[in-house]
Amino acid sequence: EDFIFLSNDYIRIRVNSSDDGAGRFGVDSTGGDPLKASDDNQRLIYGHPVPHTSYTTVRIDETNFIFGGRTDTRAGKGQQYGEVLIEPRVTGSEIVCGWIYPGGVVVTQKLSFTQSPSTGYEDTARIEYTILNTDDVSHSVGLRLALDTMLGPNDGAPFRAGDRALTTNAMYTKSELPEYWQAFDSLTNTTLISQGTLLGGELSAPDLMYFTNWGDIADNPWKFRLVEGKDFTRTGEFELDSAVALFWDSVTIMPGQSVTYIAYYGLGGITIVPGVLSLGVTSPSEVTTAKDRLPEFSVVAYINNTGEGKARGVVTEISLPPELRLSPGQAARRELADIEVGDTAQVVWKVRPTTTTPTMTSFSVSVEAINADKATVVRPIRILAPPQLSIDTPDVRLSVINELLTPHPFAFESTIANNGGAVAYRAEASITLPQGLELARGEMPVKPLGYLKPGERLTVKWWVVTRVDNVTLTAQTTVSSSSTDPKTDSATARIPDLEPRIIVSYDEVNDASVGKYISVIVRVANVPDLYEIHFDVAYPKDLLKPISVSRGTLFVTDDYQLVGPTWGTPTIDMAQGVIWKVSGIMAQSATASGEVARLNFKVIGTGDVALRLGNITLLDGSRRHIEYTLVNPTYTVGK
């Protein structure tokens, strides 16, 4: 197949996986509105079954690159491209793909299902782009998402944004954006309703938006001049072909940092009552007072004159329950201009919730004219309690086992929950460590969590190391989101006393019978700020014959390079039974645990061995003596 897809009961998301335009996507309905058969198996984006006309532009340091695979079609011909990093693939409940561009800029596209703000169903495509700078210098990066919109067989239906019906070029800046835009063919015979949502929740409000024709979008990978009054006829051709472009202006992304942009496009919901004046009303199906939600939402009424004459003296009015109120400056009753036969008028009210108590309620909108009977739409709306995040991080208590901290590294483990009634978007967890604790190699202090649904719980771990002992240290963990204020918790780590020790142990190659070979390991454990070590070793010359002395692993790096400017060459004195001047110097002082030397012997007699370490000197980075305890057990050989 040249495409891959995800589908549910409402819509299907398709992604091009061919050699021509890989990564481009399309959306169409499957079952659509469960109460309406007319919107089943209809296209919301052109290009079926293999999407190829909608595309995304990545603008890096003022140079445009097309996201995804190369193509010689009109939308992308002659443009610059990146190199594929992640081939389009279905991963769980999303379709993922990624490309890398000059300067180490990695762009990942993720497509999944989300709930439509107006229908309450998962009939909307969630479109996410993450831009990561893997370079060691900053880059300026912008993004443009171009959608070749379609309404079933209709490729030129008007866009409806706020109180405007758009049939010619239109541009909206960020401050002018409506919460959402819709498209539908007719209120009297509505087969399909599409909706793009721009504001609120996890959405990334674009800095600029074009409503225009697909030809201009195909021919221009970034911004271009919109010709005022030009309809949606495809440039250079003769057919209506509407499209939209969402722009996120260039921002500076520092090395190792990323930005994420999210948009929604899918099905919309309108409650319709037919009549001489057909009335359709749309609004969010749910509202909440979460921190990132708009303080108000839009109720849009579409009024279509289906009669045989001009509708005169048209009046429309909204009636709200106690849980809702009009925003300041809004009039509930509106008098409209006369509506010609077949024309549609649009009215917008800005409404605010008055409570945070979860409840199900409804409002109504009515319309009437001198020469048309009254029509009323009642639309339900659910008021959700805002999200409420919590974080719980238990204390940690370490132990000492075999002279080592256990566990080490250790983890601070936080349980995070959303105990509220609405989704918490752009959630992340972070940790702040005190002096004496640091994150383990590869660990990150901030962990993105995505979004947390009501009732959802998850666990986050941070792996931590310590360079101190005999202390209790306190870390602070925080969970935050765009929807809530931060919540914090504190957790202590009880780190036990680690007594500096020199330890002698025996490592048998085979057994310790006469004629066999054994190794005696001298190691240090938990020696603070160790820089230099010296000692002599006296051995029973009637039981052991020294063969060699090997440098310990303490003086060898992970890649087997020698550490330090000096590893003393010991002198073996068989006449006296002493190995003189076992010594080593670290490359730099550090808390040390590890093998200093390995003494290799041949067993020549039977008895108990107790090596005697003498002239022991441990020096720190300031050449001060370090106190220690010697652990030197007896070992039986020859049997």
- pLDDT at residue 255, rounded to an integer: 95
Q: Of the ranges 318-332, 429-443, 621-635, which one carries the lowest mean pLDDT score?
A: 621-635
Residue-wise pLDDT for 369-402, tens only, equals 999 999 999 999 999 999 999 999 999 999 988 8
Tell which residue, 373, 366, 374, has the closest CA to residue 319. Answer: 366
Residue-wise pLDDT for 187-228, tens only, equals 877 889 999 999 999 999 999 999 999 999 999 999 999 999
Beta strands in 422-516 (DSSP E): 424-432, 437-439, 446-452, 457-466, 471-481, 484-495, 501-508
Instruction: Name the fold adopted by 271-384.
Output: Immunoglobulin-like (2.60.40)
Residue of higher predicted confidence among 292 and 460: 460
- pLDDT at residue 562, rounded to an integer: 52
Q: Token match 């293999």: residue?
A: 50
pLDDT grade for 520, boundaries at 50, 70 and 90: very high
State the average pLDDT over residues 562-569: 65
- pLDDT at residue 560, rounded to an integer: 47
- pLDDT at residue 190, rounded to an integer: 84
Q: Of the ranges 14-18, 321-325, 509-513, 525-529, which one carries the lowest mean pLDDT score?
A: 509-513
Beta bridge partners of 450: 427
- pLDDT at residue 509, rounded to an integer: 54
- pLDDT at residue 469, rounded to an integer: 85
State the average pLDDT over residues 440-447: 94
Q: Of the ranges 291-295, 378-382, 469-473, which one carries the lowest mean pLDDT score?
A: 291-295
**Three-class DSSP category at 398:** coil
pLDDT at 564 > cutoff 60: no
- The DSSP 8-state label assigned to residue 433 in this structure reads -
- The DSSP 8-state label assigned to residue 229 in this structure reads T
- Locate all alpha helices (DSSP H) within 220-370, ordered by sequence: none
Q: What is the Cα–Cα distance from 97 to 86, expressed in whole angstroms? A: 5
State the average pLDDT over residues 489-509: 89
- pLDDT at residue 295, rounded to an integer: 81
Residue-wise pLDDT for 86-111, tens only, equals 999 999 999 999 999 999 999 999 99
State the average pLDDT over residues 539-551: 94
Percent of the chain with pLDDT over 70: 98
- In CATH, what number does 501-637 get? 2.60.40.680
Q: Where do the structural domains in the chain lie, given as residue ranges?
A: 3-267, 271-384, 389-495, 501-637
CATH 2.60.40 fits 3-267, yes or no: no
Percent of the chain with pLDDT over 90: 82
Q: How many CB atoms within 10 Å of residue 399? A: 11
pLDDT at 293 > cutoff 90: no
Q: Which helix (H) or strand (E) holds 215?
A: helix 214-219
Residue of higher predicted confidence among 569 and 353: 353
Measured at the CA of 456, the angle between CA 450 and CA 459, to 5 degrees, comes to 70
pLDDT at 623 > cutoff 60: yes
pLDDT at 565 > cutoff 80: no
Tell which residue, 491, 481, 495, has the closest CA to residue 432. Answer: 491
Residue-wise pLDDT for 414-435, tens only, equals 999 999 999 999 999 999 999 9
DSSP secondary structure string, 121-164? Answer: SS-EEEEEEEEEE-SSS-EEEEEEEEE-B-BTTBS-PPEEETTE
State the average pLDDT over residues 233-249: 92
pLDDT grade for 616, boundaries at 50, 70 and 90: very high
- pLDDT at residue 468, rounded to an integer: 85
Domains 3-267 and 389-495 share a fold: no
- pLDDT at residue 206, rounded to an integer: 98
- In CATH, what number does 389-495 get? 2.60.40.10
Q: What is the Cα–Cα distance from 557 to 118, expressed in whole angstroms? A: 61
pLDDT grade for 186, boundaries at 50, 70 and 90: confident
Six token digits for residue 348: 């917008």
Q: What is the Cα–Cα distance from 565 to 584, expressed in whole angstroms? A: 9
> How high is the mean pLDDT of the chain?
93
What global pTM score does this model have?
0.81
Provide the CA 420 distance to its chain's centre, in angstroms: 21
Residue-wise pLDDT for 577-609, tens only, equals 999 999 988 878 888 888 999 999 999 999 999
pLDDT at 15 > cutoff 90: yes
State the average pLDDT over residues 308-324: 96
pLDDT grade for 321, boundaries at 50, 70 and 90: very high
- pLDDT at residue 588, rounded to an integer: 81
